[in-house]
Chains A and B, each alone.
Chain A
Amino acid sequence: MNIIVCIKQVPETTEVRINPETNTLIREGVKSIVNPFDMYAIEEAVRLKERFGGKITVITMGPPQAEAALKEAIAMGADEGILVCDRAFAGSDTWATSYTLAGAIKKLGAFDLILCGKQASDGDTAQVGPGIAAHMDIPQVTYVKKVEEATDKFMRVERMLEEGFERIETPLPALMTVVKEINEPRIPSLKGMMRAKSAKITTWGQKDLNLDPQNIGLCGSPTQVVKIFTPPQRTGGQVFQGEASEVAAKIVELIKDEVH
Chain B
Amino acid sequence: MDYLLTEEQIMIRDLARKIAQEKIKPVAAEFDRTEKFPHEIIKIIAESDLFGLFIPEEYGGMSVGVMNLCLATEELSRACGGIAVCYAASALGTFPIVLFGNDAQKRKYLPDLAKGKKVAAFGITEPEAGSDASGIKTTARKEGDYYILNGLKHFITNGGDAETYTVIAMTDKTKGARGASAFIVEKGTPGFTFGKKEDKLGIRASSTTELIFTDCKIPKENLLAKEGMGFIVTMRTFDMSRPGVAAQALGIAQGALDTAVKYAKERVQFGKSISSFQGIQWMLADMATEIEAARALVYSTARMVDAGKTDVSKESAMAKLFASDVAMKVSTDAVQILGGYGYMKDYPAEKYMRDAKITQIYEGTNQIQRNIIALKLIKEMGR
Contacts and interface: CB of A to CB of B under 8 A. Distances in A.
B49 A189 contact: yes
A187 B11 contact: no
Interface in B4-58: 7-8, 11-12, 15, 18-19, 22-23, 44, 47-50, 52-53
B48 A187 contact: yes
B177 interface: no
A191 B8 CA distance: 11
Contacts of A190: 11-12, 15, 48-50, 52-53, 62
A187 B49 contact: no
Interface in A181-226: 186-191, 193-194, 197
Contacts of A187: 15, 18-19, 22-23, 44, 47-48
A103 B366 CA distance: 66
Interface string B146-179: 0000000000000000000000000000000000
Nearest to B44: A187
Interface in A39-66: none
Contacts of B15: 187-188, 190, 193
B273 to A, nearest CB: 22
A186 B47 CA distance: 9
Contacts of A197: 7, 11
Interface in B325-352: none
A189 B47 contact: yes
Contacts of B62: 190-191
Interface in A149-173: none
B47 A193 contact: no
Please report whether the interface of chain B is mostly helix, strand, loop or mixed according to DSSP: helix
Contacts of B22: 187
A89 to B, nearest CB: 31
Contact of A194 (B11, B47, B48): B11
A189 B48 contact: yes
A190 B17 CA distance: 13
Contacts of A193: 11, 15
A66 to B, nearest CB: 20
A186 B18 CA distance: 11
Contacts of A191: 49, 62
B84 to A, nearest CB: 16
A217 B22 CA distance: 38
B308 to A, nearest CB: 23
A69 to B, nearest CB: 16
A189 B49 CA distance: 6
Which of A188, A189, A190, A193 counts the most B-chain CB atoms under 10 A from its CB? Answer: A190
A20 to B, nearest CB: 30
A260 B62 CA distance: 76
Contacts of B48: 187-190
B334 to A, nearest CB: 28
A250 B75 CA distance: 59
A191 B50 CA distance: 10
Contacts of B50: 190
Nearest to B49: A190
A187 B47 CA distance: 8
A194 B48 CA distance: 12
Contacts of A194: 8, 11
A190 B44 CA distance: 12
Contacts of A186: 47
Nearest to A186: B47
Contacts of A189: 47-49
B50 to A, nearest CB: 7
A222 B53 CA distance: 53
A191 B49 CA distance: 7
Contacts of B11: 190, 193-194, 197
A190 B318 CA distance: 31
Nearest to B46: A189
B329 to A, nearest CB: 33
A188 B49 CA distance: 9
A187 B40 CA distance: 13
Interface in A60-103: none
B55 to A, nearest CB: 12
In order of increasing CB-CB distance, the 8 nearest A-B pairs are A190-B49, A189-B49, A189-B48, A191-B49, A193-B11, A187-B48, A187-B19, A187-B18
Interface of A: 186-191, 193-194, 197
Interface of B: 7-8, 11-12, 15, 18-19, 22-23, 44, 47-50, 52-53, 62
17 contacts: A186-B47, A187-B19, A187-B22, A188-B15, A188-B48, A189-B47, A189-B48, A189-B49, A190-B11, A190-B49, A190-B52, A190-B53, A190-B62, A193-B11, A193-B15, A194-B8, A197-B7
Given A188-B48, A190-B48, A191-B49, 5 more contacts: A187-B18, A189-B49, A190-B50, A190-B52, A194-B11
